[in-house]
């Protein structure tokens, strides 16, 4: 055996599952982080063309239907108010979608839709009944591109605003979900604010 042949064989022993032109046994995964097995593969370093591309498509939710409540509302894209809080449509009859967060069909994170429980413009709104929702109730959301998504309620809770977990409500990394928010609990007429947030979580149906 020549030394060069020995050197050539050594790498073959180390790596038995690297894709090549020749047939090889199928490898379950070629991920650097999750395959600590006896035959490590090349580091799986993602590469991408760094050329300038357009904005990633975010599908704005435009209509919210909850049959259990007989609720059918328009949704408008909203940002922030002057105090850095989420802005909402003036009318309690119209819901707002936090446009900086995930949209419809997002791969991860919470699509946040909120509405006034009551407003100076049109009184008590449909979201005043969010606390009547039971787990399993179906929520339909239609997006700006004509597509729709079905969710089912997984949790309804009331949280004091002081403790309201905004980072969690506006999470962009967790499993995809729809989060509906309004106010609830005691209304403090000295500040003009309710003391609680009603936070409803819904998870995608069949997906």
Partner 1 sequence: MKSRVIAGSAAGALLLTAFAAPLSASAATDAQLSVLHAIPGVTVDVWVDGVLTLDDFTPSTLAGPLALPPATYSVAITASDATSATDQVVLGPIDLALADGGNYTAVAHLTASGDPAAAFFTNDTSRTAAGEGRLTVRHVAAAPAVDIVAGGAAVVSALANPDEGILNLPAGTVSASVTAAGTLEPALIGPADVEVTEGVNTIVYAWGSLADDNLALAVQTITGLHTPPAGIPAGQTGEAAAASTTGAVTSTGLAIGAFGLLLAAAGALFVRRTVLGQRNN
What are the distances in angstroms from CA 13 to CA 7, 21, 34, 40, 74? 11, 18, 21, 11, 63
Residues 60-119 that bind partner 1 (CB under 8 A): 79-81, 83-86, 88, 98, 100, 114-119
Residue 24 contacts partner 1 per CB under 8 A? no
* Residue (1 or 167) nearer to partner 1, CB: 167
Residues 38-57 that bind partner 1 (CB under 8 A): 40-43, 45-56
Count of other CB atoms within 10 angstroms of residue 63: 15
Give the Cα separation of 98 and 114 in Å (integer).
Answer: 8
| Stretch of residues binding partner 1 (CB under 8 A), selected from 68-76, 134-142, 144-152, 158-166 | 158-166
Question: Torsion angle, CA of 163/165/166/167, rounded to 10 degrees?
Answer: 140
Residue 4 contacts partner 1 per CB under 8 A? no
Which residue in this structure is represented by tokens 């949209």? 103
Minimum gap (Å) between residue 4 Cβ and partner 1 = 11
Minimum gap (Å) between residue 205 Cβ and partner 1 = 25
């Amino acid at each position: 055996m020549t030394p060069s042949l020995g050197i050539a064989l050594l790498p073959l022993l180390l790596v038995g599952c690297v894709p090549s032109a020749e047939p090889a046994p199928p490898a379950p995964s070629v991920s650097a982080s999750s395959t600590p097995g006896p035959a490590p593969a090349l580091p799986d370093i993602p590469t991408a063309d760094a050329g300038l591309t357009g904005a990633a498509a975010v599908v704005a939710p435009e209509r919210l239907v909850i049959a259990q409540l007989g609720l059918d509302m328009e949704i408008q894209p909203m940002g922030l108010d002057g105090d850095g809080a989420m802005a909402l449509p003036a009318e309690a009859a119209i819901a707002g979608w936090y446009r900086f967060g995930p949209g419809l069909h997002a791969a991860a994170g919470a699509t946040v839709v909120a509405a006034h429980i009551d407003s100076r413009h049109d009184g008590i709104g449909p979201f005043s009944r969010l606390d009547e929702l039971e787990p399993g109730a179906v929520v339909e959301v239609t997006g700006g591109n004509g597509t729709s998504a079905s969710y089912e309620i997984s949790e309804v809770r009331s949280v004091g605003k002081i403790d309201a977990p905004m980072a969690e409500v506006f999470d962009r990394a967790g499993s995809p979900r729809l989060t509906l928010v309004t106010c609830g609990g005691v209304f403090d007429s000295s500040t003009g604010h309710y003391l609680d947030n009603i936070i409803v979580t819904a998870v995608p149906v069949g997906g």
